[in-house]
Amino acid sequence: MLSGVTVGLRERKKQATRAALHESALRLVAERGLDRVSVDDIAADAEVSPRTFFNYFPSKDDAVIGLDPEHPLRLAEALSARPATETPVQALRAAQVAEAARMAAESQLWPLRLQVVDAHPALAARLTASFAQSEQLLAEWLADRTGTRAELDVQPSLLAAVQGSVMRSALHRWRAGGYTASLPALVAEGWDQVEAGFPAPRR
Amino acid sequence: MLSGVTVGLRERKKQATRAALHESALRLVAERGLDRVSVDDIAADAEVSPRTFFNYFPSKDDAVIGLDPEHPLRLAEALSARPATETPVQALRAAQVAEAARMAAESQLWPLRLQVVDAHPALAARLTASFAQSEQLLAEWLADRTGTRAELDVQPSLLAAVQGSVMRSALHRWRAGGYTASLPALVAEGWDQVEAGFPAPRR
DNA sequence: GCGCATGTTTGCAGTGAGTGCAGTTTTCCT
DNA sequence: AGGAAAACTGCACTCACTGCAAACATGCGC
């Protein structure tokens, strides 16, 4: 019933292969640059055939980013669990701080990911796109929660987009500060700004 | 000196070819879908050789999106022209409302663009990426203006990202409403939310 | 343990994006 | 008019990605 439990050898092998492909892709691209690494290189490094690569990732870029495909669903679950008395901003903030803590735990992968994303605009686009996919879902959840229409009212689509902005900005500053700061704290700092309406800083 | 004036036949032809390629790409993809249109098709439709296509756009996707490459510079200029007494949010809002008016004037192209972008996630990524490129510049301008550090302080990077969110959300709602609303008004409505810190709507 | 159903891996052959280069044509300027 | 500079084009090449069908591994009932 629960998704986390390991079911059998087959499933475990698939997870391992997926992780191996992602880590090979990430490491090789970090070392040599995106256009000096072919899919064949990645497949060879992960010890599968080139054809198998495409059973796991639809494109080279996706393998390099390698995000958990179930992430949007977890976000949706986390939000549904928030008490109904919270405002949308409070619920998003709480869910995202929790998410940030989970991401910070993967402390090996994120610095590499952010490094390669920073070096290759095409990868930045892919990463942003995966955030954007969650945002679509998020907008509908927000519309549902506030009794507005996702397509026509301002708040659902804008707040969903802003939520992505908070995370991207936090990741950006996390990297810029050499990963010394706490990612959840950076996320919280972002939401402080949002809730305060971006006050002009005193000079 | 000024960039707007047409300099000669050569420059005018280049602009025309670029526009023709973009419009062919956009129209064909809207009609048939992204993967049923080849670069050769687009080049043939615009009456240039396939090889010439790549002198104008680095990829098929870029041709379909076809954004003005000088846009980030114009945004920077517009912002520098704002009075220094304005808060960052006020300046961004004013610049973006003006930008929205300019975009709404291109009323033939945007509905098609938004249609194809909506139908093809890969194109959405490219469009978002071009917004993100402006955001990089914007973050530095904001840091400069408020005397903060673009890399480490919250406001520059977050506000730059939020600015993009406001525009994307406005475009989304513009399309959802069948282009009956005024784009500048939708943008302004977004900024109202941002300035108010996303108040919980009354049920 | 045995064998069948099902899912996974792989090779092969093909399409089409994108690039470097070298030769030709067009525009510009004097 | 005539030469310099820029744009256009064809050719040959690499590599991402896909469909198909054959080999292979795993799970499961017996």
Q: List protein-proximal bases of chain C (any atom < 7 A from a CB).
A: 7-12, 16-21, 27-29
Q: Is the C-beta of residue B8 closer than 7 Å to nucleic acid chain C? A: yes
Residue ranges of domains in chain B, CATH in brackets: 9-63 (1.10.10.60), 71-196 (1.10.357.10)
Q: What is the largest CA-CA distance in chain B?
A: 61
The pLDDT of residue B6 is above 70: no
Q: Which of A114, A138, A158 to mutate to test the interface with B (most CBs of B within 10 A)?
A: A158
Nearest CA in chain A to B58: A122
pLDDT band of B58, cuts 50, 70, 90: very high
Asked which of A28-42, B34-48, B105-119 is least confident by mean pLDDT, the reply is B105-119
Q: Which residues of B touch A157 (CB under 8 A)?
A: 169, 172-173
Lowest average pLDDT, out of B89-93, B137-141, B174-178, goes to: B137-141
Structure tokens at A14: 């698939």
Whether the CB of A52 is less than 7 Å away from nucleic strand C comes out as: yes
Structure tokens of A33? 């640059």
* pLDDT digits 0-9 by tens, A36-94: 999 999 999 999 999 999 999 999 999 999 988 888 888 888 999 999 999 999 999 99
CA B84 to C1' C22, in angstroms, rounded, equals 54
Residue A17, CB, strand C, below 7 Å: yes
- The two tokens of residue A149 are 């229409």
